[in-house]
Amino acid sequence: MIKLREVAIIGVGMTNFGKLSDSIVDMGVQAAEAAINDCKIEKNQIEALFLGNFVGEVLTGQALLAALTARSLGLRGIPVTKVEGACASGGIALRQAILTVASGQAEVAMAVGAEKMTASPTGKVTGALAGALDQQLDGRSGLTFPGFFGLVAQRYQAEYQSDMEAVAQVVVKSRKNAVKNPVCYLRKEVSAEQVRGSYPVAEPLRLMDCCPISDGAAAAVVCSVDMAKKLSGQPIKVLASVQTSGAPRISDVSSLLTFEATTQAAALAYTQAGITAKDVDVVELHDCFSIAEVVDSEDLGFFEKGEGAEAVKAGTTAVDGDIPINPSGGLISRGHPVGATGLAQVYEIVRQLQGKAVNQVRNASVGLAHNLGGTGATCTVTILTNDI
């Protein structure tokens, strides 16, 4: 048994998310520089960089994003690697950086997530995202991700006699949180009636049930807990960092009401952290669609199956609720530049645990970030604490 080092996140940074004019590389550099400035390390202390990106090659023609971002940052010679696991690419980049430090491969490592989507026609973006479906099977049917999560929502309603009015409360809460959060793309409050009255996308999902196509980048700097304690600042300890794989095709999905990658990652992460779901104070989870937040919140163990939608309606997941979920505004309001999302979630959790969040959860000491790719094909769960 090899004893790995405890790891801390010492700096985070992100661009605002939305419709931005910069390139993927430029956004990645901005987020990375913000993360470096957040912890006052020198750039040349960074010994490895992982970059999460999903649709950059298809939409912008640019590969080698890790190398370009590192060089533009002024980093030379160090190993730099792009990782891709569809919408979980950012979470994977963070986990690789954590493991690199935990195993002593680097004293300081950086994870960056970046994506550029709004400059491409919507159809092209939807097509690129559908690359995370199996193009030999599911893709041929014309299925896209709004279609897939529409099926999830239909099944949820049928199984639990729930209705989309309750699910729409995810969006109402999301926008309410986003109003105050400048990093978010969509910041205007909406009512459940407005959500249900918005344009049908894939029934029962309406336009406002869907996260918007977005640009943006986010980044984190990690080092050992021992090193972090010697630096000034408010380091946040990594209690668990888990990555799992689940069904990459609809034909592999055993149930539309649960993502096995999430349930497995959550179980492993709680064990690794030595806690249970009840010990988590604040959550950023993968609400690519309103129904996804509901299913994820159940899969992560915060609610019994079938009770997630009603919990949102009851205010349990509000910033001042029993288990605040997506106080940042989540993917639905912050936007979902796919490769960047996993690190934007971690940005929010770090700020919450530092007591510096825009929508601060009182006495938040343990936070969880959950990033999901494809039809539940890949998942990361990260558990953090300010008790270092």
Task: List residues near a second copy by CB under 8 A.
Answer: 1-5, 23, 25, 54-55, 57-58, 60-64, 66-68, 70-71, 75-86, 92, 95-96, 99-100, 102-105, 127-128, 130-132, 134-136, 139, 243-249, 252, 260-261, 264, 373-374, 377-378
Enumerate the β-bridge partners of residue 378: 245, 373
Cα Rg, the chain, nearest whole Å: 19
User: CA–CA separation, 313 vs 167, rounded Å?
Assistant: 8
State the nearest-atom distance from the C-beta of 62 to a second copy, in Å.
5
For residue 87, indicate whether it is catalytic: yes
The answer to whether the CB of 138 falls within 8 A of the CB of 95 is no
- Cβ atoms within 10 A of the Cβ of 303, count? 20
Question: Residue 327 is encoded by which pair of tokens?
Answer: 């106080």
Q: Which residues contact 364 (CB under 8 A, 6 or more apart)?
A: 281, 282, 324, 352, 353, 355, 357, 386
Q: 194: which 2 tokens?
A: 């407005």
For a second copy, the closer CB: 12 or 377: 377
Do the Cβ atoms of 294 and 262 come closer than 8 Å?
no
Structure tokens at 48: 């490895």
Q: How far apart are CA 358 and CA 369, in angstroms?
A: 17
Which are the contacts of 140, defined by CB distance < 8 A and separation ≥ 6?
A: none
**Catalytic option among 87, 184, 210, 288:** 87
Residues 334, 336, 337, 341: what is their CA dihedral angle, to the nearest 10 degrees?
Answer: 80
Tell me whether residue 137 or residue 388 sits nearer to a second copy (CB atom). 137
- Closest CB to a second copy among 4 and 158? 4
| Of residues 38 and 134, the one with the C-beta less far from a second copy | 134
- Secondary structure (3-state) at 222: strand
336 flagged as catalytic: yes
C-alpha distance across the termini of the chain, in Å: 24
Rounded to 10 degrees, the C-alpha dihedral 245/17/75/222 comes to: -60
The C-alpha angle 10, 214, 289, rounded to 5 degrees, equals 95
Q: How far is the CB of 121 from a second copy (least distance, A)?
A: 16
| Structure-token pair, residue 49 | 């960089």
Query: Looking at residue 103, what DSSP letter applies?
Result: T
Q: Which is nearer to a second copy, 102 or 325 (CB)?
A: 102
For tokens 């997506």, the residue is 326
Catalytic residue among 39, 336, 370, 379: 336
Reduced to 3 states (helix: H, G, I; strand: E, B; else coil), residue 115 is strand
Helix H or strand E segment including 297: helix 290-299
Between 136 and 161, CB nearer to a second copy: 136
Output the six-digit token pair for 293.
């937040």
Nearest to 198 by CA among 146, 156, 125: 146
The residues that are catalytic are 87, 336
